[in-house]
Amino acid sequence: MHGENRGPIRGAGESWWIEAGIALAFAGIAWALYHPVLRLWWMYDDVHHLHHLITGRPGWYLFDGAELRRTTEGVLTPLLFLSLDVDRRLFGLAPYFFYLHQLLVFLLCPAALYGVLRLWLPRLWAAVGAGVFLIGPVIAVLPQLLYVRHYVEAILLASLAVAAWVGALRRTGTAAWALAGLSAALYFAASMAKEIAVPLAVLLPLLPEPAGGPRTDLAARLRLVLPHAAMLALYLALRYAVLGTLLGGYGFAVTPAGWPALALALPGKVLAEFAGGRLSPAAVLFLAALAVGILSLFLLRGRRAVLLTGIALCLALTPVLPVSTQMEPRFAVPAWIVLAVAFAAGCRALAEREASRWAGVALVAVACLSGLVLNRQDWSVRFARVERMSAEDRFLTGMREGDVLR
């Protein structure tokens, strides 16, 4: 996403069908990798959430701050409850349909990310970014757990917000402001799904010029980001009103004095999640390929690439810092998206140079093959764990008098 822009989407005829076919292929790959989640049962916080949805007033998660604060233990995620409540009202208490809903939304994420990357990158390299995103171990966790659905929805909504933002940059007058307003609305919805989307308002005006569009100066970008700034202010006001704080959450009491130690430990924790929690040969090869690709981006695109990637990583990790006392794979998802995009841009930069063209292609092949192996290794461990838990919980919910759990 850095440097000279070539390869805009033509937007009509045969090109449109190719783009749609690639996006559909990503959805199909995601289904092939993760469809076994459809046989899972209620786990973790699912029954807790269902209890509050069934016993609470209709729509309480949209207007009852006190109940939301008590139910979520210090996080602001009303769209998670809205999404689960829609499933409950449409399908009753059949977990299959809850997982199906979540999986279908998840299928749209790599397709949406591909579409967004096509605004900056040629077709092959946009596909590389979406593919690396899809096979990451931290991404493989998302379809398995209903209580992390808000991460999936936040990724999709944030991707659409970026696409609308680019549309605003490419237009003038009323059309530009209408698309900027749409982008801001999608950004607000993503933030209300999960706070990982909140820093997007800061990142948008810093993104490089999209391919095939008119040049816009910083002043024009700052004007168009005003609706996002308003949504950010609204989110922060709601967060403070509901939670009584702008930071924190998940019940962890982290004082400012403890933040430096957390910040120093966070990169190692995130890297461990990228490797699936273990340094297998596939993990080492995958991370090494990613590192070479990103280093190539820095060397070939210069300081701007380093600065933008660094800012994006800092913004991706900032919401995670207060809760990183107990690291979870999903906390590393925003940083993973940044690295997947940077890797694709780095491989593209390599391939543009005659001397290193095949090195870029080879790097993609190594990353995709080793990443897929790592994905399947990590999936087999994590899915076996949740499938066992699912079986145990299915038995518990169906126990009758005299049944014994050994």
- 30 or 320: which carries more pLDDT confidence? 30
Instruction: Name every residue whose Cβ is closer than 8 Å to that of residue 92 and which is 6 or more positions away in sequence.
Output: none
pLDDT of 138 reads: 93
pLDDT of 69 reads: 76
Tell me the per-residue pLDDT of 214-232, one tens digit each, with 9 for 90 and over.
677 888 889 999 999 999 9
Q: Is the pLDDT of residue 212 over 70?
A: no
pLDDT of 153 reads: 97
Q: Could you tell me if 322 and 247 are in contact, meaning their C-beta atoms sit under 8 angstroms apart?
A: yes
For residue 185 the two structure tokens come to: 């609305």
Dihedral of the alpha carbons of 136, 140, 141, 147, in degrees to the nearest 10: 120
Q: Could you tell me if 114 and 355 are in contact, meaning their C-beta atoms sit under 8 angstroms apart?
A: no
* pTM to 2 decimal places: 0.90
pLDDT > 90 fraction of the chain, expressed in percent and rounded: 62
Q: Is the pLDDT of residue 213 over 90?
A: no
Instruction: Measure the CA–CA gap between 209 and 29, rounded to whole angstroms.
Output: 30
pLDDT of 249 reads: 56
User: What average pLDDT does the chain have?
Assistant: 88
**pLDDT classification of 248: cutoffs 50, 70, 90:** low
| Residue count of the chain | 406
pLDDT of 83 reads: 96
Domain ranges in the chain?
Answer: 21-397
How distant, in Å, are the alpha carbons of 214, 240, 344 from that of 296? 28, 42, 10
Name which of 50-59, 260-269, 369-378, 380-389 the model is least confident about: 260-269
Instruction: Measure the CA–CA gap between 65 and 215, rounded to whole angstroms.
Output: 44
pLDDT of 35 reads: 95
Q: Is the pLDDT of residue 132 over 70?
A: yes
Tell me the per-residue pLDDT of 348-397, one tens digit each, with 9 for 90 and over.
999 988 878 888 899 999 999 999 999 999 999 999 999 999 999 988 88
